[in-house]
Chains A and B, each alone.
Chain A
Amino acid sequence: MNILVCIKQVPENLEQIQINSKGNGIVIHENLKYRMNRFDSNAVEAALIIKENIPDSVVDVVTVGPDFSESIVRRAMGMGADNGFIIKIEPEKYVSPSTTSALLAKMAIPKNYNLILTGIMSEDEMNAQTGQMLAERMGIPSISGVVDIQINNSKLNIKREREGGIRELLEVNMSEIKTILLTIQAGINQPRYPSLSALLRAKNQEIKIFTNYLNTENYDNDQYIVSIKKAEKMRQGKYLEGSTHEKAKQFIDIMKARNILL
C-alpha cells in the first residue's frame, strides 16, 4: 500500500507566540521552536501501523512550509516513514488551506497513492480544511474525523467520530477505488517516539525539496487576514492576588459564600 501523510509544523510552546508589528501574523523569531502538529503525529503513527501489517507498504510524508519544517519531516522519518518531501514556501507568506491543498494536490496527483492521511486540523490555525479540500481537488472520496482504521484484505473498516461520542462504522472496498483520504482525529493511537539511532539515520536521509512550486496557477488564497489580536474577554474575571496561601484562603471564602463547600 502506498501511503502519503501530510504534516504541518506548529510552534512548540504557545506561550512564546507574539503578534507581529503589523498585527496580522505572528513573529517568527530565530529561537521559536517547532514541533509536529499533534493530529499529524497521529496520522504518521496510523500510517506506520498499516506499513507494519501490510508487506511492501511505503510511507511518504510531505509538508508545505519554510526551510525550518525540515525537522518535523526528519522526525516522521525517524518514526519510520520512508521518504520525506517539502514543498517550500517563504516563512512570512500566508497561505490559506485552499492554496496549501492546491500545492499538495500538485505533488500527490502524479503519484499513485492508495491512502492519504492528514490530521483533522492544525493546532495553530485550527481551520480543519486542508484534508477535505485536497480530496476534493483530487476528486477522491474522503472520511474526516477518523478514530480507527482496520484493514482486512481489500476492505477498509473505518470508525468516524460524530458528536456526543457517536461513532459511525464505515466500510470502503478498496478494489473499487484508487485512492481515499482520511483525516485523523486525536485519540486514534499514541504516536511512537523515534529511537535515537532512527533519528540519526533519518538525519542522513535525503529529503526531496520542491522549490518554486507556488505559482500564479496554484496560488489560491481565498481569504486574507486583516488582523490578529489577543482573544477578547467574554467574561470580566476577577483575579485573585497574593501568595498561594492567600489565594487559597480567598478561594475558600468565595466558595463558602456560595454555599457549596461541604
Chain B
Amino acid sequence: MKTIKTINKIKTIKKILIIADHMENNVSNFIKEMINCALEINKLIPVSIYTLLIGKNLNDQVEFLSQRGIHVTFIELTTHNFEINASILDIAWKLINPFAQKLKPDIIITGHNSFGTALLPQLAINMNASCITGVKKITENNGKLIYTRFLYNGKFESNVCSERNITAISILPGIFTSNDLNIKKTGEINHIKKIDIENVPITLKKISKPFISNSSFDNADVIVAMGQGIGENENIEKIKEFSKIFQQSTIAGSRPMIDKGWLPYKYQVGITGKTVAPIIYIACGISGSSQHVAGMGSSEYIIAINSDPNAAIFNISDLCIVDDIISFINIVIENVTI
C-alpha cells in the first residue's frame, strides 16, 4: 500500500506559475532567475512551468520564453483598455486573479521587488495560499519543499514550510542564476488581447526617474561603500579620503545613508538603488541586509570592515576585517600617504 502511495505522489506534476516582473514593457533579466528557480524546483519534484506576462509590445519576450519550453500567457494591454491610466501595479492583480484561479497552480513565483511585494500578499489571501517572501534557496525533505529566507537583516536565515495547497513565493533578486535556459522544447503561447479592466481608484499621473546623467559607478574599479556603522555624519569625509587612495574609485552608500540625507540618491547601492559589480567592493559599516547585497553581491572581490563580528556582510565577503572602522581607515591612510 505504502509503495503505491509514494509512486502516486511522485507522478503528480505540480504546476508552477511565474508572474514576470516588468517595467516599461520590458521583461527584465529577473525573469530568467525566476525560471531557473522553477527549474531548481523541477530537480526536487516534477513540475510544468507557466509564465504570465502583462504589458504592451512584449512579442519578442513571449517568443523567447516559448522557444525555451515555457508556456506563456500574454495579456496584452492595448491602447484602448489602457486608457484608464493606471500603474500596472494597481491593475495587475485584477488581471492575474481570474487566470490564476483557472490554472490552479501549486506554486506561484514572483520577484521580491516592488511588483511582487505589492501583488503577492493580496494574491495569497485571495487564493488561500501560503505566502513566503524573499526566498533565497529551495530544498526538499520527505516530499515537502523547504524555503529558506533571511531574517534580522541577513544575520539569520529560517527554513519555512507551506501549510497550504498553494504556495506563493517571491524570490530575492540576484540569487538564482540568470544563465540562459537550456530547454529544447516549445512552449504554448496563449495571447489574450481583449481584457476589460474595471476602474481602479488609483490614477497614475506621472512616472519620474532620478537624474543620474552618467553614474560614477560605471568607470569605477573600486567602490568604497558606507553604512550606518560608520557612526557620525562627519565620518563621511574620512570614508571619502579613504576611497581616494585607490585607483579608479568612487564612494557609495547603503539605503539608510540616503534616507538620513547623508548622501545623495545617486550613491545608493541595493535593491532600490544601483546594482554594481566592481573589481573591488569595500563595505565600511554595512550590515549586509539582503536588500543591499542584491545590489553588490556579484562584485569580484568583497572586503568588509565592521566592528560587529557577526554582521551578515562577512557571509558574502572575501576579506573580513573586524575592527573599528575609523581607527582602521586612519592607520591605512597614514601608511599609504607617507
Interaction A to B: yes
**What's the least CB distance linking B99 to chain A, in Å?**
18
Q: Which residues on the A side are within 8 Å of B200 (C-beta)?
A: 141
Asked if B126 contacts A165 (CB within 8 A), the reply is no
B129 within 8 A of A: yes
Q: Which of A198-251 contact B (CB under 8 A)?
A: 221-235, 237-240, 244-245, 247-249, 251
A47 within 8 A of B: no
Chain B: CB-nearest residue to A233: B315
B153 within 8 A of A: yes
Asked if A260 contacts B163 (CB within 8 A), the reply is no
Chain B: CB-nearest residue to A185: B272
Interface size on A, residues (CB 8 A): 83
Asked if B117 contacts A132 (CB within 8 A), the reply is yes
Q: A129-B131, A164-B273, A258-B280 are in contact. Are A169 and B117 (CB under 8 A)?
A: no
Q: A225-B158, A226-B160 are in contact. Are A245 and B316 (CB under 8 A)?
A: no
Which of these, B134, B146, B162, contacts A127 with CB under 8 Å? B134
Contact with A along B86-127 (1 / 0, CB 8 A): 010110000000000000000000001110011011101110
Which of these, A129, A186, A235, contacts B133 with CB under 8 Å? A129
Asked if B121 contacts A235 (CB within 8 A), the reply is no
Which of A161, A226, A249 lies at the interface centre, i.e. has the most chain B CB atoms within 10 A of its CB? A226
The segment from A51-59, A61-69, A71-79, A170-178 found at the interface with B is A170-178
Contact with A along B231-264 (1 / 0, CB 8 A): 0000000000000111111000001101110000
B45 within 8 A of A: no
Chain A: CB-nearest residue to B297: A234
Q: Which residues on the A side are within 8 Å of B271 (C-beta)?
A: 163
B180 within 8 A of A: no
Q: Which residues on the B side are within 8 Å of A161 (C-beta)?
A: 114, 272
Asked if A222 contacts B130 (CB within 8 A), the reply is yes
A17 within 8 A of B: yes
The segment from A29-37, A85-93, A107-115, A117-125 found at the interface with B is A117-125
B207 within 8 A of A: yes
B265 within 8 A of A: yes
Asked if B272 contacts A222 (CB within 8 A), the reply is no
Asked if A244 contacts B327 (CB within 8 A), the reply is yes
Chain B: CB-nearest residue to A230: B156
The answer for the CA separation of A164 and B245 in the assembled complex, in Å, is: 29
Q: A163-B272, A223-B130, A223-B161 are in contact. Are A247 and B323 (CB under 8 A)?
A: yes
Chain A: CB-nearest residue to B315: A233
Q: Which residues on the B side are within 8 Å of A229 (C-beta)?
A: 156-157
The answer for the CA separation of A14 and B89 in the assembled complex, in Å, is: 34
**What's the least CB distance linking A223 to chain B, in Å?**
5
Q: Which residues on the B side are within 8 Å of A222 (C-beta)?
A: 124, 129-131, 162-164
The segment from B9-17, B52-60, B74-82, B328-336 found at the interface with A is B328-336
Asked if A171 contacts B205 (CB within 8 A), the reply is yes
**What's the least CB distance linking A52 to chain B, in Å?**
21
Q: Which residues on the A side are within 8 Å of B328 (C-beta)?
A: 244, 247-248, 251
Asked if A248 contacts B259 (CB within 8 A), the reply is no
Asked if B201 contacts A230 (CB within 8 A), the reply is no
B154 within 8 A of A: yes
Q: Which residues on the B side are within 8 Å of A226 (C-beta)?
A: 146, 158-161
A151 within 8 A of B: no
Q: Which of B304-324 contact A (CB under 8 A)?
A: 304, 308, 310, 312, 314-324
Asked if A261 contacts B246 (CB within 8 A), the reply is yes
Chain B: CB-nearest residue to A17: B152
Which of these, B132, B221, B319, contacts A223 with CB under 8 Å? B132
| Cβ-closest 3 pairs across A and B | A165-B210, A187-B259, A132-B121
- Seen from chain A, the residues whose Cβ lies within 8 Å of a Cβ on chain B are 11, 14-15, 17, 19, 97-98, 101, 120, 123-133, 135-137, 141-145, 157-158, 160-173, 176-177, 180, 186-187, 190, 221-235, 237-240, 244-245, 247-249, 251-252, 254-255, 258-262
A selection of 22 A-B contacts at a CB cut-off of 8 Å is A17-B155, A98-B130, A101-B125, A132-B117, A133-B121, A136-B126, A137-B125, A141-B200, A143-B90, A145-B117, A162-B89, A163-B271, A164-B209, A165-B209, A171-B202, A223-B161, A226-B159, A226-B161, A227-B158, A231-B155, A245-B331, A251-B332
- Seen from chain B, the residues whose Cβ lies within 8 Å of a Cβ on chain A are 23, 87, 89-90, 112-114, 117-118, 120-122, 124-126, 129-134, 146, 149-164, 200-210, 212, 221-222, 244-249, 255-256, 258-260, 265, 268, 271-274, 279-280, 287, 290, 297, 301-304, 308, 310, 312, 314-324, 327-328, 331-332, 335-336
Given A162-B114, A226-B146, 12 more pairs with CB closer than 8 A? A14-B287, A127-B133, A128-B133, A160-B87, A163-B113, A187-B259, A225-B160, A231-B156, A234-B316, A240-B321, A247-B321, A262-B244
